[in-house]
A and B are shown apart, each in its own frame.
Chain A
Amino acid sequence: MERMALTRSALRLFSGRFTQACQVRGYADAPSMSLTFAAPSQVLYNNISVKQIDVPSFSGSFGILPAHVPTLAVLKPGVVTVFENDGSTKKFFVSSGTVTINEDSTVQLLAEEAVPVDTLDISAAKELLAQSQSQLASASSEVAKAEAEISIEVSEALVKACE
């Protein structure tokens, strides 16, 4: 973020005298990034140009800027932060899903469930965590254990998102 600010201020210093000679290409005029962020029953962003997206994935949380290297990732339960072009940020809690970054800087963020963070109820999240922990304690089969562990992971992330 500091690098972007420095480049931008450097540009402003030079732009008056060196506009013809020096076409400094900073992050400020990188190609824009088109985001489609959707869940099966709702559309959050449909091919909207945004500045940055922070996603929680199983290979680590990372931020996506325009001209990010193409990749695929699987989403972990957690908070997705979208930095829109007008400077506002929006946070959404996602349960799971995939993120695709293509060569042409289009990003498809497909979440199984996505809700704005301010609609989360921390007491309900804590209750869910307690429930899943007791489920794990009483789980008998491998499948039940795995399901309880997934439930714990999601509820822990929910509680963290509320704080």
Chain B
Amino acid sequence: SQQVRGMATLKMISIRLKSVKNIQKITQSMKMVSAAKYTKAERELKLARPYGIGAQEFYKKAEVKDEEGEKGQLIIAVSSDRGLCGAVHSSIGRIVKTDIAANPNTKVVTVGDKVRNILQRLYAKNIAMVVTEVGRKPAVFGDAALVAQSIINSGIEFSKGKILFNAFRTVVSFRTTEMPLYSQNAVANASKLPVYDSLDSDVIQSYTEFSLASLLFYSMKENATSEQSSRMTAMDNASKNAGEMIDKLTMTFNRTRQAVITRELIEIISGAAALETKN
């Protein structure tokens, strides 16, 4: 029976070894795909950065502040539909959760399924809109414009708002950042607005709508780059871990194989010795 057990264990170990080797191949190829997507995303982000930073300048220079009001808070949480990318989605989800807990009158628009899944259990009522099919292809301005248009069309009103996304720092690090969003009323009541000449409500409305699309586009670009670099790191770690497991399993496999052979030898020899003494 020990013999049988030895054989079965060998089979089990070799099955396990094959599956871990397959996993390592998959994670390695995912890492290479992410590396290619990351290079492209980083290139596009570099071109989009002046646009994104320029789009925020007016709000800083005009010293726009959040509206005093009870219309609640709007959070646009930018993530994507795909996982296996480290802490990218969970860091956003965590901040949204603490925000809603502190401020229950909050509406969330999630760009991407992952944050929706995180919020689904406790805060399903706060989710106002979900944008799907995010992350497969690099974002273009038209996508951001579509999201912005849907938000405007849905008539969501808010006194203060923010866009939550992961700003890309380096290949191995990203920072979860927020960009403030201001309602049209907030802009109209900005302390330095009178400095700006010949503005009517039409211009302010067009300006805030266009800048919503621009800021969304910029945050989507930053987030995409952070996500791809994070996935690259995660898959690299997974491949390394799989490699370690393969080494350990191979050791166990070889040891078990030798033990089985030794046992067989012992049995043969003791059998032969028993025959000899009989004779």
How many of chain A's residues have a CB under 8 angstroms from any CB in B? 29
Contact status B199-A40, CB under 8 Å = no
**Chain B positions 129-148 with a Cβ under 8 Å from a chain A Cβ:** 140-141
Does any Cβ of B come within 8 Å of A42's Cβ? Answer: yes
A residues in contact with B47, CB < 8 Å:
41-43
Contact status B61-A106, CB under 8 Å = yes
Contact status B141-A36, CB under 8 Å = no
Contact status B50-A38, CB under 8 Å = yes
Does any Cβ of B come within 8 Å of A139's Cβ? Answer: no
Contact status B61-A46, CB under 8 Å = no
Does any Cβ of A come within 8 Å of B55's Cβ? Answer: yes
Does any Cβ of B come within 8 Å of A19's Cβ? Answer: no
Does any Cβ of A come within 8 Å of B198's Cβ? Answer: yes
Contact of B51 (CB < 8 Å), options: A47, A100, A110: A110
Contact of A71 (CB < 8 Å), options: B53, B140, B196: B196
Does any Cβ of B come within 8 Å of A103's Cβ? Answer: yes
B residues in contact with A71, CB < 8 Å:
196-199
| Range of interface residues on B (Cβ < 8 Å) | 20 to 34
Stretch at the interface among B27-35, B67-75, B167-175, B209-217: B209-217
B residues in contact with A96, CB < 8 Å:
210
**Chain B positions 38-92 with a Cβ under 8 Å from a chain A Cβ:** 44, 47-51, 53-55, 57-58, 61-62
- Dominant secondary structure at the B interface: helix
- In the bound complex, how far is the Cα of B192 from the Cα of A104, in angstroms? 12
Contact status B217-A40, CB under 8 Å = yes
Say how far A123's CB is from chain B's closest CB, in angstroms: 26
- In the bound complex, how far is the Cα of B48 from the Cα of A74, in angstroms? 20
A residues in contact with B197, CB < 8 Å:
69-71
Contact status A103-B44, CB under 8 Å = no
* Residue from the set A40, A47, A97, A112 with the largest chain B CB neighbour count within 10 Å: A40
Say how far B183's CB is from chain A's closest CB, in angstroms: 16
Contact status A108-B58, CB under 8 Å = yes
Say how far A38's CB is from chain B's closest CB, in angstroms: 4
- In the bound complex, how far is the Cα of B207 from the Cα of A59, in angstroms? 13
Contact status B204-A72, CB under 8 Å = yes
Contact of A106 (CB < 8 Å), options: B44, B57, B207: B57
Say how far A78's CB is from chain B's closest CB, in angstroms: 16
Q: Count contacts between A and B, CB distance < 8 Å.
A: 81
Contact status B54-A72, CB under 8 Å = no
Does any Cβ of B come within 8 Å of A136's Cβ? Answer: no
Contact status A102-B61, CB under 8 Å = yes
Say how far B225's CB is from chain A's closest CB, in angstroms: 14
Contact status B199-A103, CB under 8 Å = no
Does any Cβ of B come within 8 Å of A73's Cβ? Answer: yes
- In the bound complex, how far is the Cα of B211 from the Cα of A72, in angstroms? 12
Binary A-proximity of B188-211 (CB < 8 A = 1, otherwise 0): 000010011111000110110011
Does any Cβ of B come within 8 Å of A11's Cβ? Answer: no
Contact status B54-A108, CB under 8 Å = yes
A residues in contact with B192, CB < 8 Å:
103
**Chain A positions 57-72 with a Cβ under 8 Å from a chain B Cβ:** 58-59, 69-72
- In the bound complex, how far is the Cα of B202 from the Cα of A73, in angstroms? 10
* Residue from the set B53, B62, B203 with the largest chain A CB neighbour count within 10 Å: B203
Q: Which residue of A lies closest to B218 (CB)?
A: A40
- In the bound complex, how far is the Cα of B195 from the Cα of A40, in angstroms? 28
Contact status B48-A98, CB under 8 Å = no
Contact status B55-A41, CB under 8 Å = no
- In the bound complex, how far is the Cα of B48 from the Cα of A15, in angstroms? 46
Say how far B251's CB is from chain A's closest CB, in angstroms: 52
Does any Cβ of B come within 8 Å of A120's Cβ? Answer: no
Q: Would A74 and B51 be within 8 Å (CB), given that A40-B214, A59-B198, A104-B61 are in contact?
A: no
A-B contact pairs, 14 of them (CB 8 A): A38-B50, A40-B141, A41-B44, A42-B47, A71-B197, A73-B203, A74-B210, A96-B210, A100-B54, A100-B58, A102-B62, A103-B61, A108-B58, A110-B54
Extra contacts, 9 of them, besides A38-B51, A100-B57 (Cβ < 8 A), are A40-B48, A42-B47, A71-B196, A98-B206, A103-B61, A103-B192, A106-B57, A108-B54, A110-B211
